Amino acid sequence: MGGEVKPGRAGLKSWAQRHLNSGFVVGFFLVLFTYLVVSRQFAISAPNAVVTTQAQQRIVDRKVIRTPEGTEGEEKSEQEWQPKVRDEEEPHKDTRGAVPAKELPERDYADGKPFAETWGKVVCNTHGPYSDTCELDGDVRINGTALSVTLVPSIQSERREWKVPPYPRKHMLGIDDVTVTQLGSPPKDAAAPACTVTHDVPAVLFALGGLTGNYWHDFSDVLVPLFAASRRYAGDVVFLVANIQPWWLGKYEAAVRRLSKHDAVDLGRDRAVRCFRHVTVGLQLHKELSIVPEWAPGGRLTMADFTAFLREAYALPRAVAAPVVEKRRKPRVMVIHRAHYRRFVNVQEVARAAEAAGFEAVVTDPRGDGPLDELARAVNSFDALLGVHGAGLTNAVFLPARAVVIQVVPYGKLEPMARTDFGEPVADMGLKYLEYSVAAEESTLLEMLGPDHPVIKDPESVHRSGWDKVAEFYLGKQDVRINVTRFAPTLEQAMQHLRKQRQQ
Ligand SMILES: *[C@@H]1O[C@H](CO)[C@@H](O)[C@H](O)[C@H]1NC(C)=O
Ligand SMILES: *[C@@H]1O[C@H](CO)[C@@H](O)[C@H](O)[C@H]1NC(C)=O
């Protein structure tokens, strides 16, 4: 009996319910992990041990709220499920040396050996900023319920073992490590488990759960790394999913199906021993919500390739913002109006300022908890996205190329984090990134706390005190009242960028 799950089945509704209930808690995850990284980069000293404990505590809280449900997969017989053997274009069929050395970047090779020499080997990369991954080529056998991936070597070798977290951020509660073993040469090592299913296509093994459910993490942690890992296979790859979340596969079905035309395997319920010739264990998170082109296995991939891929997957009509044929149409800006915190207090005034700058402005709260294809199409009809730092800006992935994203950074020295989460990703997507930093006078924290409070007077000291106060005040208790006079030049810059394109 297999544990395959068709995306698009259960859980959309329950996901929405869970998401709405836990939105507040989940929201802080958007920033916590990058905050930790950014803190290190910018030497904002945070007592690490304490921060870690807090992080884990939040994860515990979140798990309680987001207990998976309805995770039953649809079962099919092995016979019915097995992918058809394809004779044409089977890069992993006749194995040794068949795949050129450039297919994997050098940094993926522990000892820098070219690909042909790695046949029958496990090559693990444990140096990534967030994640460990292993690539296995040769006779690979997978016992899903045991989360064990075993390589039977074709050459004389020593037994080696790695523990690989299948989610691209380490130390996630609820996500077990995968044990990757390179067996030693017999007779020292026992025989590997016998194959019950043999696949002619490669596999990518990864976990769901973790921080998914937050729209930004859905992309940064899973969709983008999964794209980087599997795009080279043009759909002919099997996804082996640990800690499976059917709602997630349902929500992102169009994208997942375009990366893999085969049904995903629910490893936790899979009683088969599946055999492959090439397996990637774990996902590489290169950088937040982006791709480092040289690190993509199988050749250069960029974030612009990812957004082009989404436009294909969701059949989005506009590839490029404000094309010349639409000269008489005003560029449209989507003003993201968050529901809870980090809201625009004067959202209508902001919208009017955008119209005064020449835009057609639409105020909306696109949180990504409705059908994604509708949201994607809606966002794609805009030329600019304007919002306060938050998950809604993730929608930039659906904008046409060369559109503009304006991130409003709340008060409190949040720029490094804001740039890591959205500024760099947006630029990597080939979009124009503009940033507007809110002054103390535009923050509701000023009237709430008064000018002498350290939160207003000395944001650095708040950062030094650790994540808790940063999250509580700057992210959790702050709304912004934009001074539209001060903001006008930013809107003007956005308009100029779009005009320039129109004249081309
Ligand atoms: C897979 O591993 C589990 C746990 O170690 C074991 O009980 C099971 O027999 C293994 N399955 C096969 C088919 O070897
Ligand atoms: C708004 O910004 C303008 C330009 O920076 C400034 O002159 C004005 O005093 C600000 N208004 C308020 C109410 O702070």
CB 486 near ligand 2, within 6 Å: yes
- How much is the pLDDT for 329? 82
Antiparallel, parallel or unpaired: β 432-437 and 404-409:
parallel
CB 271 near ligand 2, within 6 Å: no
CB 483 near ligand 2, within 6 Å: yes
Q: What is the dihedral of CA 159, 163, 166, 168, to 10 degrees?
A: -120
Centroid of ligand 1 to alpha carbon of 147 (angstroms): 10
Centroid of ligand 1 to alpha carbon of 146 (angstroms): 6
- When pLDDT is cut at 50, 70 and 90, the band that residue 267 belongs to is very high
- According to DSSP, the residues that pair with 207 across neighbouring strands are 242
pLDDT in tens, 333-382: 999 999 889 999 999 999 999 999 999 999 998 766 678 999 999 999 99
- How much is the pLDDT for 409? 98
Centroid of ligand 2 to alpha carbon of 440 (angstroms): 12
Q: Torsions phi, psi of 285, nearest 5?
A: -90, 105
The mean pLDDT value for 154-161 works out to 85
CB 145 near ligand 1, within 6 Å: yes
CB 329 near ligand 2, within 6 Å: no
Residue extents of the structural domains in the chain: 90-301, 332-503
- How far apart CA 331 and CA 360 sit, in angstroms, is 6
Neighbours of 486 (CB within 10 A): 13
- When pLDDT is cut at 50, 70 and 90, the band that residue 78 belongs to is very low
Whole-model pTM?
Answer: 0.79
CATH T-level topology, domain 332-503: Rossmann fold (3.40.50)
CB 268 near ligand 1, within 6 Å: no
Neighbours of 191 (CB within 10 A): 9
Centroid of ligand 1 to alpha carbon of 197 (angstroms): 14
Ligand positioned closest to the Cα atom of 147: 1
CB 441 near ligand 2, within 6 Å: yes
- How far apart CA 131 and CA 414 sit, in angstroms, is 25
pLDDT in tens, 199-212: 999 999 999 999 99
pLDDT in tens, 402-421: 999 999 999 999 999 999 99
What is the pLDDT of the chain when averaged over all its residues? 79
